[in-house]
Structure 1
């Protein structure tokens, strides 16, 4: 059962919506006050990633095994941001591999292809954020060459 990675297509919308919603629910479970959980998160993700498929500075990839989509990665070129003290870069915004397909190399294949595509878009580095409670993701990213550079902190405004 070989895993392959390819650019996402409009026909992948259902799988992208399902997996994107799973990612949102995971983050909401980490910190419900910080991470949103819209009513129809699947539809929202289908819309968002469907729109991003058409953007020339966005990269949306899927991992397949035996014709079934088992994971995806989404990133986009981010321009210089004086507020974030960041030059133009690639932003890795999402990566998800279905639980039954984890430890198959799908995640590694997704990020390596994403890095190749960002290189072709001329960005010098790829930046990502990881939920502080998602230690497994942080270990995965560290194994693949990312290093910590910022810590986001959240505080609710009192009533």
Structure 2
């Protein structure tokens, strides 16, 4: 996949590879933890198995030709990733073919330095090159920092997910 983004100072955006599994697992587990903090009822809770499980899942996705998975590397260390795919018609989402961004995660110490923007812009370009007529993504309602980034890249709100949990059936 020819999507290596040129060095910007010491930041390199490149395709993820099998050797990145540990870093992808670490970042994926951090993404789980971040979202759980936004809404503990809606999002998964990080467990001791999350890092290994997320890393294995992302590694398995590397074999799918539809997948665009990139990492940001600074000083030889992976500090962020984006996971996206070119998807066909999705009747459940009432959506035509699109590039779908599933994950975007940057280490906290690297945020607000353009890492997430570079990852996302590079993934968006690759999805369009592969034929995506649009790119869609979901974000946690309380993830204001990410929402500002997406809006600055001209993403617009098109769906709102609503969650309901049944009341506690235990007599009180």
TM-score (norm 1): 0.95
- Any stretches of 5+ residues in structure 2 without a counterpart? 1-8
Give 1:53's match in structure 2, choosing from 62, 65, 72.
Answer: 62
How many residues align? The count is 159
Give 1:58 deviation, angstroms. 0.7
Q: Deviations over 1:45-84 (max 9, x none)?
A: 1111000111100111000111111110001122211221
Gaps of at least 5 residues in structure 1 are none
Q: CA RMSD in A?
A: 1.1
Cα distance in 2 for residues equivalent to 1:47 and 1:63: 19
- Secondary structure class of the residue paired with 2:150: helix
Q: Comparing both chains, which one has the higher relative contact order based on Cα–Cα distances under 8 Å and sequence gaps of 6 or more?
A: 1
Q: Which residue is 1:9 aligned to?
A: 17
Q: TM-score when scaled to structure 2? A: 0.88
Contact between 1:3 and 1:105, CA under 8 Å: does it hold in 2? no
Contact kept? 1:8, 1:60, Cα under 8 Å: yes
Following TM superposition, the consecutive aligned residue runs of length 4 or more in structure 1 with deviations greater than 2 angstroms are: none
